[in-house]
Structure 1
Amino acid sequence: MNKVTGEITVKGTIDREENAAFELHVQAKDRSASPRTTHCKVLVEVIDVNDNAPAISVTSMMNAVREDARSGTAVGLITVSDKDGGVNGKVHCKIVDSVPFKLLSSYKNYYSLVVDGSLDRETTSQYNVTVIATDEGIPPLSSNSVISVYVADVNDNAPRFSETIFNVYLKENSPVGGLIASLTAHDPDMNENTQMSYSFLEGNNGKSLSTMININSLTGEIYSIQSFNFEDVNTFQFHVQATDSGVPPLSTNVTVNVFILDENDNSPVILPPYSDHGAVNSENVPYSAEAGYFVTKIRAVDADCRRLPTCFLD
């Protein structure tokens, strides 16, 4: 304060957010030999300017939201504040990203972050949601905050085989215990939802699968428990089911066709009347028979596939 003129001037930094008003007690005194005084009270009100940007804070947040969460499911609670007053302290919030979430104003400067679309963890397991808060000051000030939302897995995917039908070719007389096929299914879910077990469903070969093949329930590897003979069984079919460990469990099936490949493991057999070992058969030929005369026909068969025996004179 100027002691002579009484002018009151600013000598330091004024911040309305710290002191919205100042109360000054002023004394005026004359210069007489016996000075007289008077007093007054001066009230200084600080006018606000928009010098504070809004502040965003996340007051609560779910660790993860299930991927099957419905629209409207609350994910977190957001609070915004602005130290300024009047219109300078009025704040509006919005999400600037294209994400399946939205903000709902719950009370004054409180907002709920809720699901606003379908979620699929196998497509997107984490969203970074950018929230921007803007006040109504002139010029307006704004701030933003990035909120990470994690998507929790649910068992919504059944195991998948690369093919719906597998064709396997196996040589006859292969050793018992040999690997016939290795079936592997894939599950895009995670943790226990992707842990699988394999089992047989049924066969249509007329024989019990348990006497022919065995399956490793953990790996999907299929082994023979007998040696196959093409002349007895040349093909058979069975179905394998892969089941995950989710709740509830999901499964899928695959068809396996096994074709037994023939090997030359059978000798030709001469049909009667010339089939008796060591037997002597005679045929009458006219003395006048010329070259090329038909004497007789000897027939032979071979149990192997598509093998025609060739006969020679010895």
Structure 2
Amino acid sequence: MASYKLYSLVLLQLLLVLSAFESGNAHSLKIGFYKRTCPSAETVIKKTTYQYISRAPTLAASLLRMHFHDCFVRGCDGSVLLNSTTNNQAEKAAIPNLSLTGFNVINAAKSAVEKICPGVVSCADILALVARDAVALSQGPVWEVPTGRRDGNVSTALEALTNLPPPFANITQLKLAFAAKGLNVKDLVVLSGGHTIGRSFCAAFTNRLYNFTGRGDTDPTLDPRYAAALRKKCKPNDFTTRVEMDPGSFKTFDEDYYTIVAKRRGLFQSDAALLDDLETKTYVKLQASTHGSTFAKDFAQSMVKMGNIGVLTGKTGEIRKHCALVNL
């Protein structure tokens, strides 16, 4: 018992140190950072985002996910946008990021901003703003995005693999992963609500349908009727089919995700895991029973908080000329 308490204390102290490190420069961000240096930046970025999402609404989910994946690896520094080189496999090459789409949206927004304010607006800020606009264009909440991030110049696939919570994570693993980034349990359950938009490849969850414990069984936490419906769409070793994460409204940012999870129809193990913790389960039940009474407000707050993770500000980092390449 004493050794367990000591272990818990050491783990807590480690998480607090990591949390302080991840959010250390967050106070340097501010709303309207480009008010004087590039006053029309946010308008131009929003217009560009609209041009793409109006034609392909499913891009919204990927752009939101891209921002999440950026912030959870080295902080919100645009490292997920960098291309691999001859000597380095970048975050883009990591398995969790192979399904990301929408890099062309970020590049287009960067090009549009560079035309009016060259060398001023960072790719990290553009990604944060595009993610916000993508949610808003999907009928979701709108929030003020503090800006002033600078771009990192390091991106490695291994760090993406070790920092991004996988879809098969249990609630303990999820809580630890979020705590390491300075996010609490409420942030975990709120940001999981981002799964209200988008689709997933079958391969991310077919183990729940066909071989959950290695004995050819189905995940008992998954609603049997929903499991049967999913088996009709996803066969074993299916790596090409995509399934809606929020069936019926996967292009609309709403609270329906929580209703689905409450009915044991969350697509991923990480969705189902929200029912394994009292705090997350209570939140799921609250949003499901009140038509998302606080979800929009909560999501906006947690997104701002996530956007503060490990930011580079001041003279650290750089302002990339092209989002996929570090400056020479």
TM-score category, normalised to shorter length: under 0.3
Q: Which has the larger radius of gyration?
A: 1
Q: Structure 1 length as normaliser, TM-score?
A: 0.19
Structure with higher RCO (Cα < 8 A, 6+ apart) = 2
Q: Which has the higher helix share?
A: 2
Higher strand content, 1 or 2: 1
Q: What is the TM-score of this pair, normalised by structure 2?
A: 0.18
